[in-house]
């Protein structure tokens, strides 16, 4: 009798507990929802590395440095998920001939020291940045672009020739206050408190060079959308994944193998970053007659299984290379270009046509002249595994590859000096304006060897050269896109270099503490855009 009662009692207790738990959960969910409407006190991110003093002149060049500066300083245009949006400029107009750009500056914008921001400051910022180039410079003195104040709130820029990307280049110059900077003549060493007065949503509260810590606080009189975060802190951590798990930081990058760990956990969100960074296999076509032959390069492309490269080198977190160079996430990506899925028969056919019929004892092909298909492949020490995969895949076709790894400095020197046969070049900027195709593939004038690091010396296609030269001056967006599409088709046919893959890592963040992150249309990091910290519709 007593036993029965006790078991009933425990059942009752259990039911009560269950009910309480569900109620508790419900309450918790409800509060969470209401929190989402309000601002978050603080977002903590991985720091510990000095990115410089966040003024337009003293921050470090890499992304983390310039995007910290962007929290404090606004520019006339800003980038959101879709493209460029008016920011300090309410509006801008480009004249029909493409030579004049008129920016209309917003009213009622305040500097963080209380002064009023005017069109005069915009003009000053432009002129000052010509005199003293900022860390990231987009418009140079040589471009000979003139500026004049149209009236109280309009600034007019006049270019000597039409330029498709000029409005954006001007639009991204950080606007600095004239009343502070007009007497500064050594801006790189101007590290006073006044040097970080901008019009942006956040102001610098704390900065420690030795520890690499930063704290940004919301600026109360900010002209634009409300901040959704009161403070942003960058703190040093020893192991980023561990710090993230313990809640010390709110966001981190993770590999594919940690996906399941965070995807299924309550309160965590995982997103894949867009692929705007890339590894490419480059050929020295200037000093190497074998590699000058288009069919050989095509055969190499056919021999590579790029999906497998992504699977093994990036554990699947990436996008296989596109023969048309431009990554699939890009706004001007042409999906119709020639594709090179791995096809060893086709590759062999091409090689036999070129005369590489016989193989040595080691399995390396050679032609009648005794020239072997054997190359040195240089890689950066961090990318040895990628080199090994390429070596393995090419050896199946009878192309011998000797992988040589070097540390970063020697590797970059090699790139700059064009001192290689094959090299794997990893770098960013693939999401930017497709004008980068001109820098990479337009053959330089006979007496000029501009930026060898990017250029493909020894590659020369007159049709392509003309297209690349013309697209720059084409102000009609649609027409320009057609040209860029055509460029990609030619590149996919000629294979002056082979994009191996575009890494697309994952970012995990603690959605229960903050979840308003976004990607800019051309950038891979969630924590970089200032719009990630502002309320959006």
Partner 1 sequence: MELHLKIKSAINAFKKFSLSGKLGLILILLILLMAIFAPWLSPHPHQRSSGSALIPPDSEHILGTDDLGIDLWAQITNGARISLLVGFGTALLAAVGGGIMGIVAAYKGGLIDKILMRLIDIMMVMPDLPVMILLAAFFGPSLFNIILVLAIFSWIRPARIVRSQVLMLKEQSYIKSAESYGAKSWYLIRKHFLPEVSPLLAVSIIRLSSRAIVAEAGLSFLGLGDPTSRSWGLIIHHALNFQGIYYTSFWRWWLLYPWLALTILTVSLAFIGRDLERIVDPRLGN
Residues at the contact surface with partner 1, assessed by CB under 8 A: 241, 254-255, 257-258, 261, 311-312, 315, 381, 384-385, 387-389, 391-392, 395, 403, 405, 407
Q: How far is the CB of 383 from partner 1 (least distance, A)?
A: 10
Nearest approach, Cβ of residue 254 and partner 1 (Å): 7
How many CB atoms lie under 10 A from the CB of residue 446?
6
Q: How far is the CB of 402 from partner 1 (least distance, A)?
A: 9
In the complex, the smallest distance separating the C-beta of residue 49 from partner 1, rounded to whole angstroms, is: 17
- In the bound complex, what is the minimum distance in angstroms from residue 22's beta carbon to partner 1? 32
Nearest approach, Cβ of residue 240 and partner 1 (Å): 9
Of the pair 50, 392, the CB lying nearest partner 1 is at 392
* Least gap, CB of 379 to partner 1 (angstroms): 8
Min separation Cβ 382 and partner 1, Å: 8
> Given the complex with partner 1, which of 255 and 429 has the nearer CB atom?
255
Comparison of 144 and 407: residue with beta carbon closer to partner 1: 407
Tell me the closest approach of the beta carbon of residue 241 to partner 1, in angstroms. 5
Closer Cβ to partner 1, 160 or 255, answer by number: 255
- Residue 491 and residue 505 in contact, taking contact as beta carbons nearer than 8 Å: no
Q: Which is nearer to partner 1, 190 or 509 (CB)?
A: 509
318-346 exposure pattern, b = at least 16 Cβ within 10 A, e = fewer: bbbbbbbbbbebbebbbeebbebebeeeb
Displacement of CA 88 from its chain's centroid (Å): 23
Neighbours of 5 (CB within 10 A): 9
Please give the angle made by the CA atoms of 181, 184 and 186, to the nearest 5 degrees: 130
Specify the residue, 184 or 241, whose C-beta has the smaller distance to partner 1: 241
Exposure string of 59-98, with b = 16+ CB inside 10 Å and e = fewer, is: bbeeebbbbbbbbbbbbbbbbeeeebeebbbeebebeeeb
* Residue 370: half-sphere exposure toward Cβ, Cα within 13 Å: 0
| Comparison of 381 and 470: residue with beta carbon closer to partner 1 | 381
Closest to partner 1 by CB, 258 or 495: 258
Residue 505 neighbours by CB under 8 Å, 6+ apart:
253, 254, 255, 272, 273, 314, 317, 524
Pull the structure tokens for residue 406: 């070097």
β pairing state of 374-380 and 400-406: parallel
**In sequence order, what E strands does 99-212 have?**
100-105, 146-151, 154-158, 202-208
**Under a CB-based contact definition with an 8 Å cutoff, are residues 519 and 251 in contact?**
no
Q: Of the two residues 32 and 257, which places its CB atom closer to partner 1 in the complex?
A: 257
Q: Which is nearer to partner 1, 273 or 471 (CB)?
A: 273
Torsion of CA 197, 201, 207, 209, to 10 degrees: -90
CB of 122 to partner 1, least distance (A): 44
Closer to partner 1 by CB, 258 or 299: give it. 258
How crowded is residue 179: how many other Cβ atoms within 10 Å of its Cβ? 14
Each as own residue / partner, the long-range contacts of residues 364-370 (CB below 8 Å, 24 or more positions apart, any chain) are 364/398, 364/399, 364/400, 365/397, 365/398, 365/399
Nearer to partner 1, 315 or 346 (CB): 315
Nearest CA to 529 out of 232, 248, 215 is that of: 232
Neighbouring-strand partners of residue 506: 254, 272
Cβ 113 vs Cβ 102: under 8 Å: no
CA distances from 448 to 54, 89, 444 (A): 36, 38, 6
């Amino acid at each position: 009798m007593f036993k029965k009662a006790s078991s009933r009692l425990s059942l009752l207790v259990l039911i009560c507990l269950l009910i309480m738990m569900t109620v508790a959960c419900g309450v918790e969910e409800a509060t969470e929802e209401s929190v989402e409407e309000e601002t978050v006190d603080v977002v903590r991110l991985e720091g510990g590395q000095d990115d410089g003093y966040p003024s337009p002149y003293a921050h470090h060049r890499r992304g983390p440095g310039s995007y910290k500066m962007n929290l404090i300083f606004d520019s006339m245009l800003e980038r959101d998920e879709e493209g460029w949006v008016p920011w300090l400029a309410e509006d801008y107009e480009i004249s029909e001939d493409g030579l004049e750009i008129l920016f209309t500056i917003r009213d009622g914008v305040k500097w963080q020291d209380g002064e009023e921001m005017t069109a005069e400051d915009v003009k000053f910022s432009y002129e000052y940045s010509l005199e003293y180039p900022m860390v990231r410079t987009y418009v140079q003195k040589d471009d000979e672009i003139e500026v004049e104040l149209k009236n109280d709130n309009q600034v007019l820029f006049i270019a000597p020739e039409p330029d498709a990307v000029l409005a954006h280049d001007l639009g991204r110059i950080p606007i600095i206050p004239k009343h502070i900077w007009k007497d500064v003549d050594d801006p790189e060493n101007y590290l006073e408190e006044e040097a970080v007065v901008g019009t942006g949503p956040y102001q610098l509260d704390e900065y420690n060079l030795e520890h690499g810590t930063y704290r940004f606080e919301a600026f109360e009189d900010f002209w634009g959308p409300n901040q959704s975060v009161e403070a942003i802190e960058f703190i040093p951590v020893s192991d980023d994944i561990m710090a993230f798990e313990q809640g010390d930081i709110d966001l981190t990058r993770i590999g594919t193998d940690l996906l399941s760990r965070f995807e299924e956990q309550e309160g965590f969100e995982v997103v894949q970053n867009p692929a705007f960074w890339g590894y490419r296999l480059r050929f020295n076509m200037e000093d190497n007659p074998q590699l000058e032959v288009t069919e050989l390069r095509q055969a190499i492309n056919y021999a590579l299984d790029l999906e497998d490269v992504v699977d093994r080198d990036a554990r699947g977190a990436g996008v296989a290379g596109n023969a048309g160079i431009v990554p699939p996430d890009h706004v001007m990506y042409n999906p119709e270009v020639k594709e090179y899925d791995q096809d060893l028969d086709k590759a062999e056919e091409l090689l036999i046509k070129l005369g590489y019929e016989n193989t040595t004892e080691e399995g390396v092909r050679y032609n009648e002249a005794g020239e072997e298909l054997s190359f040195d492949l240089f890689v950066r020490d961090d990318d040895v595994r990628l080199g090994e995969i390429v070596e393995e895949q090419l050896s199946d076709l009878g192309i011998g590859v000797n992988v040589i790894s070097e540390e970063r400095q020697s590797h970059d020197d090699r790139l700059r000096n064009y001192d290689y046969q094959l090299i794997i070049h990893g770098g960013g900027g693939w999401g930017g304006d497709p004008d980068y195709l001109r820098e990479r593939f337009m053959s330089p004038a006979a007496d000029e060897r501009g930026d060898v690091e990017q250029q493909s010396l020894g590659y020369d296609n007159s049709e392509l050269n003309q297209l690349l030269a013309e697209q720059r001056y084409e102000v009609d967006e649609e027409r320009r896109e057609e040209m860029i599409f055509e460029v990609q088709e030619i590149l996919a046919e000629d294979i002056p270099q082979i994009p191996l893959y575009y890494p697309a890592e994952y970012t995990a963040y603690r959605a229960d503490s903050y979840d308003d992150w976004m990607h800019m249309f051309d950038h891979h990091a969630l924590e970089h855009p200032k719009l990630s910290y502002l309320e959006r519709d």
